[in-house]
Amino acid sequence: MEHFHPEPEIDRKANRINWGLDPDRLTFLFVGRVDGEKRLDVILQALHLLNRDDIQLVIAGNGAALNGLRSLADKLNLGKQVRFIGFISVTELSTLLNSVDIFVMPSEAELLSIATLEAMACGLPVLAAEAQALPELVSHGINGYLFKPGNTEDAAKYMAILADHPEDLPGMRKASLDKVRQHNLENTINTYAKIYETLLATPKHAHTQDISIKIKLKAIKQKLDMSE
């Protein structure tokens, strides 16, 4: 959250133009490995199904599925509605996140989704598949929407809702910021420390004096001290 945070002072319009984007369209962004399990085909199909020119999708990253997705975008005649911008460095990523409107994560195989957390730390609403860890990050209707995994029609439905109700976006941005704070380093370390302390307090561990847990607890506390 020190590196990824809202930057209201940046020139969003100029940044979009620099990346070859339409500065006036509602902009969805995906960042990550462009591989099959990320299910970006679902979002391309949803964009085609919507058939409206006030929305654009940016795909940042490289991967094995990139050429196939380019071909699919051409086949669907999406034209300038989809922009593949390739690898984005960490120094550029915060600026990119602060220059778009909504983050999209259609993957069905996320274990944590750091990319989604980074987007939330920049205050973005999130459209995500209701799969794996993503429902822990996205509260439906609060800081974004969850769609049925792999379901093009459901994804299109919530893309349209986001596009048609811009008045809801400021509240969703605030909700993303509130929610991401629960996942910052200090809170995460404190949570693990409390779990270990609870385990140590049980009769089993009180009698056996589990050394390995004590070592881990000490390491976690040291890590927390270093982060401060």
Q: Which residues of 73-99 are buried (b: 16+ CB within 10 A; e: fewer)?
A: beebebeebbbbbeebeeeebbbbbbb
Give the span between the Cα atoms of 2 and 180, in whole angstroms.
Answer: 12
Q: What mean pLDDT value characterizes the chain?
A: 90
Band of the pLDDT at 189, cuts 50, 70, 90? confident
Rounded Cα distance between 74 and 33, Å, is 20
pTM to 2 decimal places = 0.84
Residue 141 has pLDDT above 90, yes or no: yes
Judged against a pLDDT cut of 90, whether residue 12 lies above it is answered with yes
Q: State residue 111's pLDDT score.
A: 85
Whether residue 177 is predicted with pLDDT greater than 80 in this model: the reply is yes
pLDDT class of 150 with cuts at 50, 70, 90: very high
Residue 38 pLDDT greater than 80, yes or no: yes
DSSP 176-217: HHHHHGGGSHHHHHHHHHHHHHHHHHSHHHHHHT-HHHHHHH
Average pLDDT over residues 17-36: 96
Judge whether 69 and 86 are in contact, CB under 8 Å: no
Percentage of residues of the chain with pLDDT beyond 90: 74
CA 132 to the chain's CA centroid:
13
